[in-house]
C-alpha cells in the first residue's frame, strides 16, 4: 500500500485523493450553441483567439474580445480582420477585467439587440518562482488576472440569462506545479467559483486545462522545460 500524502478524515471513514474519469452518461445536455454576444477575456491571446474562432464557426452573432491592450496587443488587428471576414461582428476592447468599474462600463455598452449570453474567462498571467521568493505583489499580479477578474464577471453578470459561464482553469489548481503556487491558488479559486455558481442555480463550468500544444502559456520554452 502506497503512502497517502493527502487524506480527508470524515465520519464515514478516511479517504484518499483520486482522479477518476467522468462518465459520458453523466454529462448534462448536449453541445453548447452560442448566440448573441459572447465575451472572451484574454481574447487576443493564443487560447482566446482559438476560442473566438470556434465561436464564429458555431453561431455567435457578436464576439467581444478583451485584453488589457485591446487593439494594441500583438496580432489583434490581424485577428479581428480574420474573424470579421466570416461576417460575424467582432469587437476587440481594451479592458482590465480586474477593474470592476471598467468591466461594468464594457458590459453596459453591449447592444440590447445582441445581449450577452456567454462568458469565457481565458485571461491569465504567470509570475513563477519558489515559494519564499513570491512576494505579496507577485501573488496579487496573478490573482488579479485570474481570480479577481472571475469574481467581477460573476457578480456583474449573475442577474443575466447566460447560457454559458466558462472559466479557463488549470491542472495546477488540482495537483500543483513546481514554482506556481500563486497560479495554482488562483485556478483552484476558479474551480470553487464554478461550483458555487452551480449551487446557486447558475450556469458555470471550470475547465482544468493541461498544456495546450503550439500555444498558450505552456509554449514558453523555460516553462515547458520545468514541466518535463
pLDDT tens, 98-141?
A: 999 999 999 999 999 999 999 999 998 877 777 777 778 887 88
Mean pLDDT to the nearest integer, 50-74: 94
pLDDT band at 49 (very low <50, low <70, confident <90, very high): very high
Give me the DSSP letters along 53-82.
Answer: HHHHHTT-SEEEEEESSGGGSTTHHHHHHH
Question: Are the beta carbons of 180 and 219 closer than 8 angstroms?
Answer: no
Higher pLDDT, 140 or 69: 69
- Residue found under cell 482566446: 48
Q: Could you give the dihedral angle defined by the CA atoms of residues 53, 158, 96 and 91, in that order, rounded to the nearest 10 degrees?
A: 40
**Residue for cell digits 493527502?**
6
pTM of the model: 0.82
Q: Which residue has the cell 458555470?
A: 204
Nine cell digits for residue 165: 459561464
pLDDT at 130: 76
Tell me the percentage of the chain whose pLDDT exceeds 90.
63
Kindly report the average pLDDT of the chain as a whole number.
Answer: 87
User: 33-227: what fold?
Assistant: Rossmann fold (3.40.50)
Amino acid at each position: 500500500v502506497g503512502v497517502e500524502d493527502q487524506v480527508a478524515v470524515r465520519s464515514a471513514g478516511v479517504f484518499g485523493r483520486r482522479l477518476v474519469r467522468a462518465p459520458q452518461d453523466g454529462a448534462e445536455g448536449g453541445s453548447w450553441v452560442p448566440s448573441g454576444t459572447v465575451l472572451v477575456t484574454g481574447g487576443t491571446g493564443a487560447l482566446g483567439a482559438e476560442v473566438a474562432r470556434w465561436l464564429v464557426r458555431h453561431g455567435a452573432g457578436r464576439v467581444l474580445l478583451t485584453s488589457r491592450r485591446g487593439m494594441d496587443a500583438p496580432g489583434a488587428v490581424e485577428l479581428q480582420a480574420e474573424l470579421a471576414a466570416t461576417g460575424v461582428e467582432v469587437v476587440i476592447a481594451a479592458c482590465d477585467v480586474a477593474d470592476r468599474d471598467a468591466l461594468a462600463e464594457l458590459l453596459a455598452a453591449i447592444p440590447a439587440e445582441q445581449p450577452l449570453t456567454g462568458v469565457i474567462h481565458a485571461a491569465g498571467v504567470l509570475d513563477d518562482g519558489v515559494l519564499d521568493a513570491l512576494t505579496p505583489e507577485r501573488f496579487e499580479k496573478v490573482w488579479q488576472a485570474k481570480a479577481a477578474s472571475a469574481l467581477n464577471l460573476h457578480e456583474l453578470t449573475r442577474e443575466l440569462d447566460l447560457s454559458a459561464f466558462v472559466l479557463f482553469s488549470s491542472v495546477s489548481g488540482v495537483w500543483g506545479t513546481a514554482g506556481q503556487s500563486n497560479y495554482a491558488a488562483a485556478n483552484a479559486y476558479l474551480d470553487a467559483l464554478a461550483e458555487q455558481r452551480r449551487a446557486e442555480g447558475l450556469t458555470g463550468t471550470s475547465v482544468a486545462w493541461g498544456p495546450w500544444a503550439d500555444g498558450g502559456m505552456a509554449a514558453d520554452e523555460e516553462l515547458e522545460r520545468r514541466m518535463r
